[in-house]
Structure 1
Amino acid sequence: MKYGIIGAGAMGYRYGIMLQENAGCKVDFIETWEPALTQVRHQGGVLVARDHQNQHLVPINIYSPEEYQGHPDVWIIFKKQMQLEEELARDAAAGLFTPDQIAFSAMNGMGHFEKINQYFSADRILCGTAMIATRLNGPANVDFMGAAGTEVMHMARYNRVAPDKRSQAVAHDFAAAQLGPVWAEDWQGMCLSKVVFNAVCNTLCTMFELQMGQFIAYEGVREMARQLFDEAYDACERAGIYLLESRQAMTKSVITVSKAYQYHYPSMYQDFAANRPTEVDYINGYIARLARDHGFVCPTHEFVTHQVHLAETARQFKSA
């Protein structure tokens, strides 16, 4: 199948390049950030490393929405939550979306599938999550974190029915690309499992500007994780949403994943360090809103959301 990647950032590059190089798929990239377009064209592709080693140039096809004349079978969407609505509107205005195409996304946070559903019917949306750490060092310069073959992702259909032939074909390509796809039954429980995990690792690493390995050096991490997980699980259960792992397993995964990606700064910190807005409102903030919508309060998640926004605000004084 042919793929179009909307968003030539860390995860967009990761999926597109692995599909291109490992699965032999035809891949085109759509980007609206001018520095990325300029740099890819200047150097003839994307600089790709794995764990800071063996950097090499990978040629790719990249276009602005208005330039693109291709017709992929599947759109893979990786934009920041705050940018998605504007991006989809621009892509639609450029005539990129047609009724025969599938849309897949494994973005961080919650709320993006509702936006995608405005352009693609529910039976043509594939939901995903990815436990795949990637760092964007700059325009057209990306670092795949973690050993090859350790990538794991989940996927589910937005309409909550069993995979059809086209969905299975996408999963087959993901497997050939070595992205490690696993099917899940319910997209909400699947996606919230990743959100709840990120609400601990991404957020706390960002607040204290830590790599994941540095984060778990503190012996109190398990208790901090347990407190945030307990609130999140209680909120999800009140909403009738059940996550993929138990609370205990999720707490253990904080340690396991942080050890596997010990030198990695989570994506929220990467945004914070680059003086960009973070996605905390779509992670901890989403959990807090979900709870209140169902007569429950997550005070720790609400407080942590405010703390991240306070840290964002404080940057103006540090640079003064």
Structure 2
Amino acid sequence: MKFAMIGAGAMGLRYGILLQEAGNDVTFIDTWQPHIDKIREQGGVYVSRDHEDRHLTEIKLETPETYDDDPDMYIFFTKQMQLADFLKRCAHFFKPNQYAFTCMNGMGHIEKLQQYFADDKIIAGTALIATVLNGPGDVDFMGKRGAGKMNMANLTEKPDEMTHRLFDELDKAQMHPTLTTNFKGTLMTKVIFNSVINTLCTLFEIQMGEFGNFDKAYDLGRQLIDEAYDICERAGITLVSTRDEEMAALDHNTRIDMPLHYPSMYQDMIHDRPTEVDYINGYIAELGREHHYEAHTHIFLTNLVHLSEYHRANEKKARDDAAEKTAAALKA
């Protein structure tokens, strides 16, 4: 198949490179100039696995303004707050026959994709796959080859031939996909997973394994999961796992599959980028309000993450001001 990967960050590179290795034609489309410059300078992307076996992998890379091809499918891996701009910049090469697929974190992206793609051309999923972008042109796939798994579903909940073709290619790439016919439940189950792991690991700047091995990890996770499941029941959303199964997945992924991984929200926080907490815990809280349920714990954690962002922004401004004063003094 021919793919265009919209967003060449950590997960975009993971999916795109593994699909490329499985024999597909993949072009990456990105807008982060330092990343683009580094990849072109070194002739590809340096890929590691669990900090080892670092090697250069050649990729095709374009910007939204330079891409001119006709892929079978676009795969979107941007941050939630970046998607609208990406779609606007890429709109000139979208065609009615093309499909859009995404496994982005959080919720809010489907409505944006619907502005450019028909409902029967949208496939979305969730990924329990850990990847870290160390810096421009340098990515680290966490976990042994074949580690992790994913779910996928059609927006129409009616899988077609293209869906099965995509499934087969993801399976060849060792993504271990599961095809469901429960669209909202599939996506929300991962949002709930992230509302525990991403948020708590970010606030305390810890790896997933450190959270999983904490003796009160179950209590912390269960409180957030119960709130979210209560809300989904009120909203009529049938999740693809039970509360107990969700807790078991949290335990397995934190302690066994990805104990050394820092979630993507943490990676955004430490690099002073906006986090996606409003699209994860914040989304759960808003869904609760729509159904007359106040998700006190999710609201509290959302505000804590924003407090941490606010504190880091003030610290950065203080450092920048001090550096500016020092530079001015040296010139005097």
1:255-288, CA deviations, whole angstroms, 9 ceiling, x for partnerless residues?
Answer: 1100121111000000001000000000000000
Counting only pairs closer than 5 Å after superposition, residues 54-73 of structure 1 correspond to structure 2 as: 54-73=53-72
CA drift at 1:250: 1.0
Counterpart residue number, 2:140: 143
CA distance in 2, matches of 1:98, 1:153: 27
Asked whether the equivalents of residues 182 and 240 of structure 2 are also in contact (C-alpha less than 8 Å), the reply is no
Q: Name the CA distance, whole Å, in 1 between partners of 2:174 and 2:155.
A: 23
Alignment counterpart, residue 177 of structure 1, candidates 165, 173, 176: 173
- Aligned amino acid, residue 219 of structure 1: D
Name the counterpart of 2:324: none
Q: From 190, 201, 206, give the equivalent of 1:205.
A: 201
Aligned pairs for 1:259-274 within 5 A: 259=255, 260-274=257-271
Letter in 1 for 2:145: A
Task: Report the 3-state secondary structure (helix = DSSP H, G, I; strand = E; otherwise coil) of the residue aligned with 1:19.
Answer: helix
TM-score by length of 1: 0.97
Structure 1 residue 146, shift from structure 2 partner: 0.8
- 1:70-149 mapped onto 2 (5 Å cutoff): 70-92=69-91, 95-149=92-146
TM-score of the pair, normalised by structure 2: 0.94
Q: Tell me the distance in 2 between the aligned counterparts of 1:255 and 1:273.
A: 25
Partner Cα distance (1:308, 1:14) in 2: 27
Larger radius of gyration: 2
- Please report how far the alpha carbon of residue 172 of structure 1 lies from its aligned counterpart in structure 2 after TM superposition: 0.8
How far did 1:318 drift?
3.3
Whichever residue aligns with residue 142 of structure 1, its letter is V
Equivalenced residues, count: 316
Q: Do structure 1's residue 280 and structure 2's residue 268 form an aligned pair?
A: no
Which consecutive unaligned segments of at least 5 residues does structure 1 have?
none
**Residues 44-64 of structure 1: CA distance to partner in whole angstroms, max 9, x if unpaired?**
000001111101000000001
Contact 2:130/2:261 (8 A) holds in 1: yes
Task: Write the letter of the residue equivalent to 1:5.
Answer: M
Q: Equivalent residue of 1:262, what SS?
A: coil
Gaps spanning 5+ residues in structure 2: where? 319-332
Residues 122-148 of structure 1: CA distance to partner in whole angstroms, max 9, x if unpaired?
Answer: 000001110000001011110000111
More helix by percentage: 2
Deviates more, 1:65-74 or 1:199-208: 65-74
What do residues 222-262 of structure 1 show as CA deviations (whole Å, max 9, x unaligned)?
00101000000000000000111111111122111001211
The residue that corresponds to 1:15 in the other structure is: 15
Whether the 8 Å CA contact 2:80–2:279 is kept in 1: the answer is yes
2:167 maps to a residue whose letter is A
- Which amino acid counterpart does residue 267 of structure 1 have in structure 2? S
1:221: which partner in 2?
217
1:2-40 deviations in Å (ceiling 9; x for gaps):
00000010000001000001x100000111111111011
Structure 2 counterpart of 1:295: 292
Alpha-carbon RMSD: 0.8
Deviation at 1:317, TM superposition (A): 3.6
Bigger shift: residues 252-261 or 190-199: 252-261
User: What stretches of structure 1 move > 2 A for 4+ residues in a row?
Assistant: 316-320
Aligned to 2:39: 40
- What SS is found at the alignment partner of 2:93? coil
Give the C-alpha shift of residue 298 in structure 1: 0.5
Q: Distance in 1 between matches of 2:227 and 2:290?
A: 14
Kindly provide the amino acid, as one letter, of the partner of residue 183 in structure 1.
L
